[in-house]
Structure formats: structure tokens, C-alpha cells
A and B are shown apart, each in its own frame.
Chain A
Amino acid sequence: MSDHITEIVVFTFLFLLVSGMGFVASRWRAPKDMAHLDEWGLGGRSFGGWITWFLVGGDLYTAYTFVAVPALIFGAGAAGFFAVPYTVVIYPLFFLILIRLWSVSHRHGFVTPADFVRTRFESPTLALIVAITGIVATMPYIALQLIGIEAVLKTMGVTGESALARHLPIIIAFAILAAYTYQSGLRAPALIAFVKDTLIYIVILVAVLYLPYKLGGWGAIFDAADAKFQASPNPNDGILLNANNQVQYFTLALGSALALFLYPHSITGVLASRNREVIKRNMSALPAYSLLLGLIALLGYMAISAGVKPLPGSKPGSVDSNTVVPLLFDQQFPSWFAGVAFAAIGIGALVPAAIMSIAAANLFTRNIYKEYLRKDATHAQEANVAKITSLVVKIGAVACIVFLDPQFSIDLQLIGGVIILQTAPAVVIGLYTRWLHRGALIAGWVAGMTLGFWMLWQIPNAATGRAHFGGSAFPLKEFGFDTQVTIYVGFVTVLVNLLIAVIATFILRAAKTPEGVDGTTSDDYFADEGDPRIERQRDTPVENVSST
């Protein structure tokens, strides 16, 4: 541990600095009344261009991404680079579709996508399904942020004999995080995101300029990776894709883009912005993070070229490939700068973890507590319940990591991406038309979920010797096709979901099943800041405006 002292000191210093900022954040852009879910959970819906850029960027590109994507490249090569097309495709989609969600939410005071579904389809059941899907998909995502921090701590030699001692730093870090999220709400991650992203940009710029120079240039780095994959027995690795994983590559990129879009935390980040202009402008500025992510991904090849050997995993004989990037920094950088890099990853975990827990808390409060437990809840009660829920969610995430095999969280996250996609027909298509029947949407969701679990269960992983939940690449030969081609599970399931929803719509309509009343008008989807109807609502002290 002693040879890592400088790193630990720098890491701790920066960590404490942002924790202080987290507490001060409640006074930043201070609201008139914090006891309102709009203030605690959406930062007053007032964020301008710069804050939104840092907040959404810090939200979508998580610590886990920064650690896991290069780990994937390190292990499998080109297939891990899907993160780049994925984060290119997502912004035009946001630009076209999410902007409508912003408008209709602004007009009606929606805090969550489930709020929208409830009003659009007049179906608390469908809203409950969307809310639960969102919460279940988000929980393991929060737990994964801890894996990002843990990879860093492990590299710095901060480990212990017992499970509790090993996890103590993470428990402390999350306790601090929980405390300032409780106090400051979405303002805390928004303020911290400035520091996090600045640190990440500095670290990555230095890494991509300095490391290739040390390692003999980019050509040599790619050649070293190529040599490693040529020598490995796995047929699906390499610095290029092969005939069998190209379909997986683009369906995973597209599916992940759609999934990210539906994750409650990305929607929370977007709803917090001030107006449509801010969102649209950001969609051309946010790809700067994609560039960063692409460069981070290539750190995986640099680690190959530098001969990094990942640290052992939790089980004897296994390796923890998430440690390759921290190890690369540890090996190649002077220790003070490695400390800065580790702090960037560590703080990088806090921003999304905070936003995700807020998003999950918003869902619980709006679509379960207010819908089923206390229909007449005041704004202050809503805010209070959300604050407490955010604590519970974080304790749950820490418990997942401390008491369960981390692999369990990784599996859940894999499943999470597939299940969140099953809300796409209700949320995304619902933004354009309510032609799909509310009952049919539920039927489609059930079909998509069932198929998704079955498909994921079928996928083995040869590398880790696991028989189930080995990845998201489904071999089409399981469907009876004579081919080695694989496809992303989420992509297939969402198509099946949609197909069932369409068929069921025809059936329900023929049976004249009631469709409910649409609580929105077509004009709502274009509402912007300063809309006269919104101002009127804000002035009226009626408590249940939101349940229109």
C-alpha cells in the first residue's frame, strides 16, 4: 500500500473537495421552496445550456462505461467499440423524439416517463409497469458505479481481508453521496459534474497524447492488439469485426441507444433543462463526449500494448478485467497524476449514481406512492418521500455489491438494458400516436420481457465458463437458422413486443375494449418555456395539477 500513498492522498483530497461542493449545491441557484419535487428532483427545471451539457454528459457516460468499455476492448477488440456508433446514433434520436417528451412534460408537470404514459393512455397500470421496469433497470446500474470505484481502489491497493474491510471505503463514499443527494437533490450532481468532466477531459487528453508516444505510436498499439487477438483461440475477437458479429454490433449500438433514451436517469437529466433550445443545442454539443468515450475505449488497446495484466477477480483463478485501465494509469503515469485519473473515475461514479437514485426515487414517488399509497400527497410530502427513497435505493446498491457477487450486478445490468427497451412502444411511440391500445402495450411488454429472459438465459459464456446470462449476443441458430451470426437480444425482443402490441390492438379494438381518454393535446408536444398555460398553472396553488 505504501507505494500508492501519493495516489491515495490526491484521490482523497479531490473526493472530499467534490463532497463539499455537493453539500453547498443546495444553495446554488437557490430555489424559493425546496419542498417540491420539481426543485429537488429536477433542479427547478431551470438548467441552461452549459449545466445541461455537463449534467447529461456526466450522466450518460458513467464511471462504469469508462472502466468497462476499455475492458471489453482489451478482452474482445473491435466488438467493444460499439460504444462509439451507439453514442453517435443517440443524439439525432434525442433531437427528434425526446424533445416532444420535454414539451409535454413541461406543459403537464410530468416528472417521470411513467407520468406521461399515465396521462396519455389513462392507464395507471401501464404507468406502474413503466415505473417498475425503470426502477428495476436502474438499481443494478447504480451498483455498477460502485464497481468502477472498486476497480480504482483495488489498483491503489486499498483492500482488506474481510468483506466488510474491503468494502469500507465504498460504504463511506456512498454514505457521503447519499447525504448530499438527500440535501441538495439534482443540484448536487449538476455542480459536481463540472469537476468530474473537467478532470476526465484532462486525464484523457493527456493519456491519448502521452501514452502513444511512450508506447511507440498508434500503429504499434493496434499491431500489438492484433497480434494478441491472432494468438488467442477465441474466433470472435480481433481489431476488426468478422462475418458473425457485425449484426450484433449494429443491433447492439442501435438497441443501446434506444435503451439509454428510456433509462429514467437520462430522462431526468433532459427534463431538468430550461427550454427546447437548450436541448436542441446540446444535441450537437454532447457528441464531444462520444469522442472522449472512443478515445477511452482505445485505452484497452494501450493496455495490451503496455503488457498490463489485470488483477485477480473475486473468485480464485478469475481476473477482474475492469482493473486494466486503472492499472495502465498506475503503470504509465507519475503517481500524482495517476491519483488525479483515479479521482476522475471515482467522482465519475458519483454523478450518475446520484442522478440514477434521484430518477428511481422520482418514479417511486410519483407512480407508486402518489398513485397507490397516498393519492392526496402534497408537493412537500412528495419531495420528502423522494428524498428518503433515494437513500433506500443507494443502500440497496451498496448491499448488492457488499453481499452479492459483483457478477450478479453485471448480469442484472445486462438484463436491465433489455427490459428497459420493453417500455419503448409505450413511451416512444406514445409520443407520436396513441393508436396502440393500452391493453395491447401491456401484452407486448409481457411478451418482450418473457422472450428477453429466455434468450438471455440461453446465452453461455465460454470465457467465464458460465452456462447462462453470458452476454447479450444471441446466436440466431437457436431460432433454427443455419448460421453463426449473433444478434442483440434487446433488438429482437423489442420487435416482438411491438408486433404483439399491434396484433393485440386490432383484437382489443375489434372487441371494443375501452381505450381511455388522452389527457394531452397535440399542441402539448411543442410547448416551450414561457407557455402561457404553464405560467397559469404555476401561479395557482392547487396541489394536484399534475394528476390531470
Chain B
Amino acid sequence: MAEPDRPPRSDRSPWNWLLLIPIVVPLLTFLYNHDEPRLAGFPVFYWLQFAFILLGVGTTTVVYQMTKRSRR
């Protein structure tokens, strides 16, 4: 029962593909399952996974900004 007086809405955007990065990268254990090089005493396993949090924040923010109200 779509209302004919309005164009169909969508939130499709090529920018959404960027979100695959923070979904896939943190799951690739071979990337970070190492001890050296340590950073401030943290093995790679720990500091790199902390860095993925920033990766997640970064990509989500970019996608949010780029898709914001652009289709209204």
C-alpha cells in the first residue's frame, strides 16, 4: 500500500560498503595474533585490536556524515 504521492524512500548508498571494513577486519586473527612489535608494553594482539575500535569509529562517522539527510 505505497502512497503514490511520494517517491519511494531508500537509504542505499555506496558509502555503506565502507562499513564492511570494521565488520571484517577485526575478525582476521592472523593480522594481530603476534607479540612483537610491542607498543608501550602492549603486544600487537592488544594494541592492534584497540586500534580497530578507532577504525570502527572512523568508518561509521564517515558513512554517517556522507549519508546524512542527503536523500531528503
Contacts and interface: CB of A to CB of B under 8 A. Distances in A.
B2 A521 contact: yes
Given A95-B19, A521-B1, A521-B2, A88 B46 contact: no
Interface in B12-69: 16, 19-20, 22-23, 26-30, 33-35, 38, 40-43, 45-46, 49-50, 52-53, 55-57, 59-61, 63-64, 68
Interface in A98-124: 99
Q: Which of A219, A240, A241, A533 has the most CB of B within 10 A?
A: A240
Chain A: interface residue count, which band?
Answer: 35 or more
Interface stretch (A8-16, A33-41, A249-257, A259-267): A249-257
Nearest to A212: B41
A241 B33 contact: yes
B41 A221 contact: yes
Contact of B29 (A96, A217, A249): A249
Given A222-B42, A280-B64, A92 B27 contact: no
A92 B2 CA distance: 29
Interface string A232-275: 00000001110000100110011000000000000000000000
Dominant secondary structure at the B interface: helix
Contacts of A91: 22, 56, 60
Contacts of A285: 57
A329 interface: no
A526 B26 CA distance: 29
Nearest to A520: B1
B57 A239 contact: no
A434 to B, nearest CB: 15
A92 B22 contact: yes
A294 B49 contact: yes
B23 A250 contact: no
A466 interface: no
B70 to A, nearest CB: 12
B29 to A, nearest CB: 4
Given A85-B27, A240-B35, A284-B61, A222 B43 contact: yes
A281 interface: yes
B11 A526 contact: yes
Contacts, number: 117
Contacts of B11: 99, 526
Contacts of A88: 22, 26, 49, 52-53, 55-56
Nearest to B6: A523
A159 interface: no
A298 interface: yes
Nearest to A290: B53
Contacts of A219: 38, 41
Nearest to B28: A250
A284 B57 contact: yes
Interface string A205-233: 00000001000011111100000000000
A89 B55 CA distance: 11
A522 interface: yes
A253 B8 contact: no
A218 B56 contact: no
Interface string A280-297: 110111010011001000
Nearest to B49: A84
Given A239-B35, A240-B34, A523-B2, A89 B27 contact: yes
B19 A287 contact: no
B66 to A, nearest CB: 11
Nearest to A281: B64
A342 interface: no
Given A89-B26, A290-B53, A96 B40 contact: no
Given A88-B56, A281-B64, A526-B10, A218 B42 contact: yes
A249 B45 CA distance: 12
Most buried by A among B30, B53, B59: B53
B45 A240 contact: yes
Given A81-B46, A240-B35, A253-B27, A92 B56 contact: yes
Contact of B60 (A92, A212, A249): A92
A249 B35 CA distance: 17
A125 to B, nearest CB: 25
Contact of B26 (A239, A253, A277): A253
A359 interface: no
A92 B19 contact: yes
A343 interface: no
B22 to A, nearest CB: 5
Given A219-B38, A219-B41, A254-B27, A95 B33 contact: no
Given A218-B40, A280-B64, 18 more contacts: A78-B33, A84-B26, A84-B52, A89-B23, A92-B19, A92-B22, A92-B60, A95-B60, A218-B41, A218-B42, A239-B35, A283-B64, A284-B60, A287-B57, A294-B50, A521-B1, A523-B3, A527-B9
9 contacts: A85-B27, A88-B49, A92-B60, A221-B41, A241-B29, A253-B26, A254-B27, A287-B60, A523-B9
The 10 A-B pairs at the shortest CB distance, nearest first, are namely A218-B41, A219-B41, A85-B26, A92-B19, A526-B9, A284-B60, A250-B27, A246-B29, A284-B61, A88-B56
